[in-house]
Structure 1
């Protein structure tokens, strides 16, 4: 029996949360959402998602700082794939994302199909990458 994978979507734009939640939910994923970095960190601790989709520009704690905490603080537990999905696509932003160990970087606007493909790729590779 296949276990339902939990995906945390973190974005301060409600339309992005709704559209991604809808498409990923229709693919059989259990979707959690957060509108800011602070709520995201709490959901990582309390729900242990299998994958995180993370915006960079958010209130309270930006996405790069969230990613840094998830990767470098033991209280966030196990390794899990993180996809950055953001409007910030210049070289410096992409470089910062990968330096903080993002697994995949998608620049908005992008077709939802590209995000779904990224999720599927990252989840298929996750067993090979677990630390």
Structure 2
């Protein structure tokens, strides 16, 4: 991607799987990457270094607690998960302040997603509508075409009408 908003951004990637850390580091090679495999390692990095974005796994590294710590440090948090992929975890992530929620099987899109997040931030706009446009079809395949209807009020708060 030319003229990437990610060029030189400091990104913390937290996942207990080494192959995921390596793959994301490759996808985001234009960034200054720090990786962590444990909650403790990630917490220490968040507390002692500056990051623009944190890509956080949920399971295995206490991702929701890391999400809270990232928000406190004004680090843009993006959740990445395979095992916690559910509508409820998606909603919890957004309610707790994540700007995006990426299924691991879609992590090949991470550069585009993070660029879009930064672009929305620069323009003072939310990212939820773009997230829904990108992943609505994926969620429909995974959870059925009515996946948003049970939580209609939640999705409407983000400007998305079910």
TM-score by length of 1: 0.80
Structure 1 CA distance for aligned equivalents of residues 80 and 45 of structure 2? 18
Aligned to 2:43: 41
Structure 2 CA distance for aligned equivalents of residues 126 and 35 of structure 1? 28
Structure 1 CA distance for aligned equivalents of residues 107 and 67 of structure 2? 23
> Are 2:52 and 1:50 equivalent residues in the alignment?
yes
CA drift at 1:116: 1.2
Unaligned stretches of 5+ residues in structure 1: none
Task: Tell me how many residue pairs correspond in the alignment.
Answer: 118
CA drift at 1:123: 2.2
Label 1:10 to 1:111 Cα distance change in 2 as closer, same or farther (>3 A): closer
Any conservation in 1 of the 2:58–2:79 contact (CA below 8 Å)?
A: yes
Aligned to 1:107: 103
Any conservation in 2 of the 1:80–1:126 contact (CA below 8 Å)?
A: no
Deviations along 1:49-83, one digit per CA (max 9) or x if unpaired, are 11010000024xx1011112332x4xx3xx22111
Unaligned stretches of 5+ residues in structure 2: 126-162
Aligned to 2:66: 66
Choose which of 75, 97, 104 in structure 2 pairs with 1:80.
75
